[in-house]
Each structure stands twice: as structure tokens, then as C-alpha cells.
């Protein structure tokens, strides 16, 4: 009986050890947009054709790296194989890393999807052993707020400055996370030109560049949070190595920087002295009500404009309404805004234009209109009042109720239908020019005969094109050269698209040069060496200076992995590659 139990235990152990596992493990499931994520794909048996997920919404900053662990403990073999990636989130949100797959013993295994939550930037402790430590000491993103305790609807500005130490350089940057400015009305100010300005940061010499300017109008009182702007930056930091000229060599590292959260305390507007007609206007304003005419006929129309101009939250309050006698036909006002926004806030004017049509002759008053706002300079409420305007209607039907001019002001006067000729809008009449259209027939026209004969004229052209195509298809050697040349142009085109991205640019250009030579010299990649290239090009009657330029391009592609290249140098190498390929095409025999 004991022997049978041993056999059963042995079989269970063997089956358990033979079970294949393949899973995805992450270093954390919640991280800030300025942090890094490690993901390991682990299997307990060796496999082939590993396919990672797409890593959408993440940037691969390291990997894939491969590690194998094979050990024996108490006679039991333990095996694991791991593919590792280091990822940087592109933005905040909840994301899913999809399935990866691998083939083990002819079967396909897949990992389960992993959900990752990316939050706003978090404060990270500084590690002196981190390779990015030097960059973290030499580059800083700062959000400068013009005022931390504004009134409700008072303009404040946020200027984002990137501070760079004198011995550090910046290649490129991209925005990882934009502030959302909850509880603010916001508008970005266009930065037309990036200028490097000498300055100081925490008492040390620095340079800075203004990346973004934003105007904010708080819409709530109390403590409001301004979210951080987060950037991914390629930073050039100095190393202990020097070149042959004694200059210190630079190393490019990625650095994620955030401007940090800023809190402002928004004060409510005072209740003491607040007018009943106050609609939320804050700033320094002028107010007026004007009409385009003061005398007209009953068949005409006029416009009355209510206008507020000055500096303040012009887009964030309503204009006062006109109150007019019922004997006047009043249409919905046309709203207009002529407002510009700069670092001091909104400036300009807003207006409501009312179209008014009198029904009867008489004198019609447009009563006074008041407008109230909070003045930031005196920190008091001010009320502006327009003058009363009297409109004199000289001609037209008289009121059936009171046939005098004073009756025109009676609010109880019943409206009557006036002359239906439409003359009340005569002041808006426009002139129209009519153009006669002649009817023509298509049959037996020049276009008709041309379309009829076109198929017969195209037959010889089709035969010629078909003949040339057959000749081209039979030219096997020429087709190979043309295919390789198209491939070279394709890679040069890809290189042009990624100008500014050093690694991608020089990888694309190196592939273009390889494929071009494989077509022209008929050599395989295994035979590819600079000495052989030089020998074969010279044998093909290519000029020596052209050969030298070609070899220099290959050297640039190799050096790009270890030394920094500027955008100007990359553009020069691209132009040089196009010129050299064209020269070889003309010289080679």
C-alpha cells in the first residue's frame, strides 16, 4: 500500500513539474506619469517566437533584456526565462497592457492583460546612484504664478520656465501631461519664439526658456489646485570622458520633469455694497448705450447698442438688457465680442446690438440702463449709468388709443398690424444683380464629338504602354536595381521624417546605404566592409572623393550610437547622402 502511495505522489509531482506557465509581472500597478514601470514576461520552460504586446500609451525606455535562471535544488530542476521591458507612460489614465505570446513545444501560450493606472506626476526621492541624477540637478521646470490670493474672476497668469544649468544641453522635449485647470477659465498665450535668457535659480547661474504662458480666471472661491505640466526631455549631461581636443564629452539621458502642484486661495467678492444688478463683472470698464439714428419714419429700423469696453473678465458676464415701450418691435440682440487676451488678461469690448422697428409715429424714450462691476484698484463696486435717449418717429400711423406723441410711451398700448408692404426694413435693403442663363444642348457639340472619338484615339497609346511594360518586365537585372533603388529612397524618406530623433534617423539612413550598395555592387550583407566597399566602388570608376564621402556617411551612422548629433548635423548628413547616391549613379560603370 505504501509503495502505491509513493507512485501516486511521484506521478503528481511529475505532472506539476511538467506544467507550463507563462505570465506577465509588473513592478507596480499604479504610478505617476513621471515614473517608470518594469514588466517581466516569465516562463518556466524555454520557448520560441516571443511576441510582446504593442505597449500602446507607453514609451519603451529600456529593453527587451533577457535573463535565464537554471538551477537544481535537492535533485529538482528549476528553470525560468524572463523578457524584461522598462516603460514610461505617455499620459495619465487607466490603460491595459495587452497579451504577449510564445510557442513552447509546439503550443502557443498567452499572458493575461494587465491593467495599469497612471496618475499625475508624483514627488520621487532623489537617488545619488541613479544615472539620471546629474540631469535632475541641472534641469528644472518651474510654474511662476503672478498672484496666489486673487479675487473671484480676477486674472492671474502662469508662466512655465525651463531652467538649464550652463554645462547642460537640451535636445528635444515633448509634453507628457497637460494641466486641466479645473475650476478656472483658461487661455494659452502663443509663445512665438523660444529665447534663452541668462538668469539665476536658487542663487546659482542658470539659463531659462519660456515654454508656455497661460491666463486663468478662477471660477470658484477657496483653495484651488493648479495641476503640474509634465515634460519628457532629452538632456545632454557632461561625462568624465574627453575627446581628442580635450573637450568634455556629453551623454544623452531621458529626464521627466514636472512643474509641481500650485495652490491658490481665491477670495470671494465682498457682500458689502454689492449692487442688485451686479452680474459678475470684475476689472476696469466703460459703459454706453448708443443708437445709429435718433429720428426716423415708422417704416424704418434703427439699432441700439449696449456696449462694455475695458479690461477684465469680458467673456464671463452678461450685459444688461434694454427695457423698451411695447409699441416698439424689438428683435433678439446680436452679440459681438472683440476681445484679445495677453498676460494682463482680457482687453477689448463686448456688445449687444438690438434691431428696433417703431409701429407708430411719436417720441419714444430708451430709458437709462445701469451696469455694475467690481473695481480691483479701489476694491469697491462701481455703477455706470447711460443717458436716456429719445427716438423721434416723424411719419407713420398714429396710435388708435391716443393719437398724441405722449401716447407712444404708454406701456399699455395694444400693438396693431401696420402696412404689410415690408417697408419697416427699408433701411436694410440690398441691391441684387440678376444674370440670364442660356440653355444649350449637348448633342453634336465639340465636347460630344471629342468624347465619342476619345476611345479610338486611346487605342494606340494603350498598345505602346503595354509594349513598354513587357520590355520592363523582361529586364530582370534592371528590375532588381530599380527595386533596390526604390528601397533606398524609401529609407531616406523615413530618415527625413525622423530628423531630430538621432537613433531613428541614423538607423534609417544606414539601412538605405546598405540596400543601395547591395543593388549596385551585388554584394551581400555578410561581405559588407569598408575596405571592400572602397575597392569595389573604385573598380566601378567611382571618383575617389565620392567614395570618401560615402565612407564618411557610414562612419557617422556608427558614431551616432555613442556621440550626440545636432539637428543641423543630421540635416547635413541627409543632404550629403542624397547627393552621394546621385553621384554614384552617374559615375558607376
pLDDT in tens, 23-38: 888 888 888 888 888 8
Largest CA distance in the chain: 127
Does position 367 have pLDDT exceeding 60, yes or no? yes
Please check whether residues 109 and 146 belong to one and the same domain: no
Q: What does the DSSP 8-state code read for residue 405?
A: G
* Mean pLDDT along residues 559-583: 74
Q: What is the tens place of the pLDDT at every residue in 73-87?
A: 666 777 888 888 888
Q: What are 54's strand-pairing partners?
A: none
Please check whether residues 31 and 154 belong to one and the same domain: no
How far apart are the C-alpha atoms of 190 and 193, rounded to whole Å? 9
Report the CATH number at residue 82.
Answer: 2.60.40.740
Please check whether residues 217 and 324 belong to one and the same domain: no
Share of the chain above pLDDT 70, in %: 78
Residue 434 is assigned to a structural domain of this protein = no
Strands 362-366 and 389-393: antiparallel
Grade residue 380 by pLDDT with cuts at 50, 70 and 90: very high
Q: What is the tens place of the pLDDT at every residue in 42-83?
A: 888 888 888 899 888 888 887 788 878 777 666 677 788 888
Please check whether residues 100 and 24 belong to one and the same domain: yes
Boundary of a domain, candidates 119, 147, 176: 119
Residue 387 is assigned to a structural domain of this protein = yes
Q: What is the tens place of the pLDDT at every residue in 258-302?
A: 887 889 999 999 999 999 999 999 999 999 999 998 888 887 889
Report the CATH number at residue 552.
Answer: 1.20.120
Report the CATH number at residue 328.
Answer: 2.60.40
> Lowest-confidence range among 81-90, 182-191, 554-563?
554-563
Please check whether residues 166 and 114 belong to one and the same domain: no
Does position 478 have pLDDT exceeding 70, yes or no? no
**Which pLDDT belongs to residue 400?**
52
Please check whether residues 413 and 298 belong to one and the same domain: yes
Please check whether residues 28 and 96 belong to one and the same domain: yes
Please check whether residues 358 and 484 belong to one and the same domain: no
Does position 133 have pLDDT exceeding 80, yes or no? no
How far apart are the C-alpha atoms of 262 and 145, rounded to whole Å? 8
DSSP per residue, 169-214: EEEEEEEEE----TTEEEEEEP------EEEEETTEEEEEEEEEEE
Please check whether residues 55 and 139 belong to one and the same domain: no
Task: Count the domains in the chain.
Answer: 4
**Which pLDDT belongs to residue 287?**
96
Residue 407 is assigned to a structural domain of this protein = yes
What is the sign, positive or negative, of the torsion defined by CA atoms of 71, 76, 77, 79?
negative
How far apart are the C-alpha atoms of 512 and 530, rounded to whole Å? 16
Domain that holds residue 47: 20-119
User: Would you call 487 helix, strand, or coil by DSSP?
Assistant: helix
Burial class (CB in 10 A: 0-12, 13-18, 19+), 310: middle
Boundary of a domain, candidates 119, 149, 176: 119
Residue 404 is assigned to a structural domain of this protein = yes
- Cell numbers placing 322: 434694454
Q: What is the tens place of the pLDDT at every residue in 300-309?
A: 889 999 999 9
Please check whether residues 110 and 191 belong to one and the same domain: no
Spatial contact of 44 and 86, defined as CB atoms under 8 Å apart: no
Q: What is the tens place of the pLDDT at every residue in 328-364?
A: 888 899 999 999 999 889 999 999 999 998 888 888 8
Residue 176 is assigned to a structural domain of this protein = yes
Share of the chain above pLDDT 90, in %: 24
Q: What is the CA radius of gyration of the chain?
A: 39
Grade residue 129 by pLDDT with cuts at 50, 70 and 90: very low
Mean pLDDT of the chain: 80
Please check whether residues 247 and 317 belong to one and the same domain: no
**Which pLDDT belongs to residue 81?**
85
Residue 159 is assigned to a structural domain of this protein = yes
Its pTM surpasses 0.85: no
Please check whether residues 180 and 143 belong to one and the same domain: yes
Residue 11 is assigned to a structural domain of this protein = no
Residue 445 is assigned to a structural domain of this protein = no
CB atoms within 10 A of CB 146: 15
Amino acid at each position: 500500500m505504501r509503495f502505491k502511495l509513493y507512485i501516486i505522489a511521484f506521478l503528481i509531482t511529475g505532472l506539476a513539474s511538467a506544467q507550463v506557465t507563462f505570465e506577465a509581472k509588473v513592478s507596480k500597478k499604479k504610478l505617476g506619469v513621471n515614473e517608470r514601470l518594469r514588466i517581466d514576461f516569465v516562463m518556466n520552460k524555454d520557448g520560441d517566437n516571443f511576441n510582446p504586446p504593442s505597449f500602446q500609451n507607453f514609451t519603451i525606455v529600456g529593453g527587451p533584456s533577457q535573463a535565464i535562471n537554471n538551477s537544481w535544488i535537492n535533485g529538482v530542476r528549476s528553470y525560468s526565462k524572463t523578457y524584461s521591458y522598462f516603460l514610461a507612460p505617455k499620459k495619465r489614465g487607466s490603460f491595459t497592457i495587452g497579451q504577449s505570446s510564445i510557442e513552447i513545444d509546439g503550443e502557443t501560450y498567452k499572458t493575461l492583460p494587465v491593467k495599469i493606472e497612471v496618475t499625475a506626476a508624483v514627488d520621487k526621492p532623489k537617488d545619488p546612484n541613479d544615472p539620471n541624477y546629474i540631469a535632475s540637478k541641472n534641469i528644472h521646470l518651474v510654474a511662476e504664478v503672478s498672484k496666489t490670493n486673487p479675487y473671484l474672476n480676477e486674472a492671474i497668469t502662469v508662466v512655465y520656465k525651463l531652467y538649464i544649468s550652463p554645462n547642460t544641453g537640451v535636445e528635444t522635449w515633448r509634453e507628457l501631461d497637460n494641466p486641466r485647470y479645473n475650476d478656472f477659465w483658461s487661455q494659452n498665450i502663443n509663445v512665438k519664439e523660444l529665447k534663452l535668457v541668462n538668469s539665476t535659480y536658487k542663487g546659482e547661474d542658470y539659463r531659462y526658456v519660456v515654454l508656455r504662458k497661460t491666463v486663468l480666471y478662477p471660477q470658484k472661491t477657496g483653495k484651488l489646485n493648479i495641476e503640474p505640466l509634465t515634460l519628457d526631455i532629452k538632456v545632454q549631461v557632461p561625462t568624465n570622458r574627453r575627446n581628442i581636443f580635450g573637450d568634455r564629452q556629453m551623454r544623452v539621458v531621458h529626464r521627466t520633469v514636472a512643474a509641481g502642484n500650485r495652490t491658490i486661495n481665491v477670495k470671494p467678492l465682498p457682500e458689502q455694497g454689492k449692487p442688485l444688478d451686479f452680474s459678475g463683472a470684475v476689472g476696469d470698464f466703460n459703459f454706453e448705450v448708443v443708437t445709429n439714428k435718433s429720428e426716423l419714419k415708422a417704416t424704418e429700423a434703427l439699432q441700439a447698442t449696449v456696449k462694455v469696453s475695458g479690461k477684465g473678465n469680458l467673456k464671463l458676464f452678461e450685459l444688461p438688457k434694454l427695457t423698451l415701450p411695447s409699441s416698439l418691435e424689438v428683435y433678439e440682440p446680436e452679440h459681438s465680442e472683440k476681445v484679445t487676451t495677453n498676460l494682463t488678461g482680457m482687453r477689448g469690448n463686448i456688445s449687444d446690438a438690438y434691431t428696433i422697428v417703431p409701429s407708430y409715429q411719436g417720441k419714444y424714450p430708451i430709458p437709462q440702463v445701469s451696469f455694475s462691476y467690481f473695481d480691483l484698484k479701489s476694491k469697491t463696486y462701481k455703477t455706470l449709468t447711460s443717458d436716456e435717449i429719445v427716438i423721434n418717429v416723424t411719419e407713420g400711423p398714429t396710435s388708435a388709443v391716443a393719437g398724441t406723441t405722449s401716447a407712444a410711451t404708454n406701456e399699455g398700448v395694444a400693438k396693431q398690424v401696420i402696412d404689410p408692404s415690408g417697408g419697416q426694413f427699408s433701411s436694410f435693403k440690398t441691391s441684387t444683380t440678376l444674370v440670364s442663363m442660356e440653355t444649350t444642348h449637348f448633342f453634336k457639340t465639340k465636347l460630344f464629338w471629342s468624347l465619342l472619338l476619345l476611345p479610338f484615339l486611346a487605342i494606340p497609346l494603350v498598345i505602346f504602354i503595354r509594349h513598354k511594360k513587357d520590355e520592363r518586365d523582361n529586364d530582370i537585372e534592371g528590375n532588381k536595381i530599380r527595386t533596390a533603388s526604390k528601397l533606398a529612397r524609401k529609407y531616406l524618406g523615413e530618415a527625413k521624417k525622423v530628423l531630430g530623433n538621432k537613433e531613428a534617423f541614423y538607423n534609417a539612413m544606414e539601412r538605405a546605404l546598405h540596400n543601395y550598395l547591395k543593388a549596385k555592387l551585388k554584394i551581400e550583407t555578410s561581405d559588407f566592409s569598408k575596405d571592400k566597399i572602397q575597392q569595389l566602388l573604385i573598380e566601378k570608376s567611382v571618383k575617389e572623393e565620392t567614395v570618401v564621402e560615402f565612407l564618411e556617411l557610414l562612419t557617422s551612422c556608427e558614431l551616432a550610437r555613442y556621440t550626440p548629433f545636432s539637428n543641423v548635423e543630421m540635416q547635413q548628413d541627409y543632404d550629403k547622402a542624397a547627393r552621394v547616391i546621385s553621384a554614384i549613379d552617374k559615375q558607376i560603370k
